[in-house]
Amino acid sequence: MGTPFLSIVIPVFNAERTISRAIGSILSQDFMGIEIIVINDGSTDRSHEICQDIARNEPRIKLFSIENSGVSYARNVGIEQAQGKYITFLDADDFYVETALKQMAASLTPNIELMIFGYNVDFENKYSDCLLPSEQMLTFHDQHRFRDYAVSLIRNEMINAPWNKVYLTSYLKEKEIKFPADLNIGEDLKFNLAVIRDIEHVKILNLAFVNYCVKKGEGLVSRFRLNRFDVRYDLLMEIRNLLSYWGILKKNQAMIDRFLIRDIMAYFMDFYKRNCQLTYQRKLELIRDILSRKEIREVIAKNHPYDFSTIVIEQILKTNNSKFILFLAKILNIKRVLR
């Protein structure tokens, strides 16, 4: 077999219920120019055995087993092992739509360094939403034109995930771009911010190729993490620094401030996640601590013409009444759970 056109990296951790579907959605497609790099990240269930059984009769599958080190480290192993001209990522509980790979390959015209496409959100097989990065196909061969457009991708959070993108493998390797293995929140966004920093040749597709499967109450985002706000704040500063590097921060500062205001309230709402063990007094202390920070106070005082819900949150935070804010965070969290 010659050099594959596309490397598909699948990190696997305790995914015995879904990994067959993920790999099967690749093997069932009428496109042969692929290699499937499966990284078993120290699974304690039957994931490794299932992958072995599938790989036994499929030479395009490369199976690696490592000690449990997290999804970022596993993906980095995949990047190191990738031989394809292009590389993409698939989570073990997601799967491709039919003909996705052939359409990906046909869309990757010469010189493209990054391609971004849409995805279907499948919530417990109950409903599906199709999220697209654009209403039309776009191609950029100019850094400045793409940078202006990239702001909309950041605003709509279409830049975050790695599984709705195809990357030129040599671009990642030459620039030594890796997933930050020291993070377990926002690692995908930090990776992609590094990717787009100096990128020039980008294609945006108005097609959905991946079914992103969401299960209620599962995953890192469903659990309370004490450092979540500080990590999110650092990521916002990464976005801010990128926009400053591009020379377009001033006209997009309101977007950064909006993200910050919403992240503050989202963190306070997290106090009511089931695994949060903080006392009532500790929750109040954290609210006071965050709202007393100089940079936070300055943003809350700006009065940008935000969307209605952000303006409401801003006005709530302006009260600086920790008990009132905590009470409203509880109400908002109940609404979030019942949605």
Q: What is residue 314's predicted lDDT score, i.e. its pLDDT?
A: 94
Long-range own/partner contacts, residues 213-216 (CB < 8 A, 24 or more apart): 213/18, 213/93, 213/94, 213/95, 213/122, 214/121, 214/122, 214/123, 214/124, 215/93, 215/124, 216/123, 216/124
Q: What is residue 220's predicted lDDT score, i.e. its pLDDT?
A: 45
∠ at Cα 110 (104, 116), nearest 5°? 40
Q: What is residue 221's predicted lDDT score, i.e. its pLDDT?
A: 55
**pLDDT tier at 166, thresholds 50, 70, 90:** very high
**Architecture of the CATH domain 6-214:** Alpha-Beta Complex (3.90)
pLDDT at 293 over 60: yes
Radius of gyration of the chain (CA): 21
Q: What is residue 216's predicted lDDT score, i.e. its pLDDT?
A: 66
d(CA 89, CA 17): 19
**pLDDT tier at 2, thresholds 50, 70, 90:** confident
Q: What is the pLDDT of residues 109-136, one digit of tens each?
A: 999 999 999 999 988 777 677 888 888 8
Q: 10 Å Cβ neighbour count for 28?
A: 10
3-state secondary structure the chain: CCCCCEEEEEEECCCCCCHHHHHHHHHCCCCCCEEEEEEEECCCCCHHHHHHHHHCCCCCEEEEEECCCCHHHHHHHHHHHCCCCEEEECCCCCEECCCHHHHHHHHCCCCCCEEEEEEEEEECCCEEEEECCCCCCEEECCHHHHHHHHHHHHHCCCCCCCCCEEEEHHHHHHCCCCCCCCCCCCHHHHHHHHHHCCCCCEEEEEEEEEEEEECCCCCHHHCCCCCHHHHHHHHHHHHHHHHHHHCCCHHHHHHHHHHHHHHHHHHHHHCCCCCCCCCHHHHHHHHHHHHCCHHHHHHHCCCCCCCHHHHHHHHHHHCCCHHHHHHHHHHHHHHHHHC
For residues 92 and 22, the answer to whether their CB atoms sit within 8 Å is yes
**pLDDT tier at 337, thresholds 50, 70, 90:** low
Q: What is the pLDDT of residues 274-291, one digit of tens each?
A: 899 999 999 999 999 999
Domain-wise residue ranges, the chain: 6-214, 224-338
Model-level pTM? 0.93
Q: What is the pLDDT of residues 196-255, one digit of tens each?
A: 999 999 999 999 999 999 876 554 456 899 999 999 999 999 999 999 999 999 999 999
Q: What is the pLDDT of residues 14-71, one digit of tens each?
A: 999 999 999 999 999 999 999 999 999 999 999 999 999 999 999 999 999 999 999 9
Count CA within 13 A, CB hemisphere, residue 140: 23
Q: What is residue 102's predicted lDDT score, i.e. its pLDDT?
A: 97
> 127 Cβ partners below 8 Å, 6+ apart?
none
Going 282 to 284 to 287 to 293, the CA torsion angle's sign is: negative
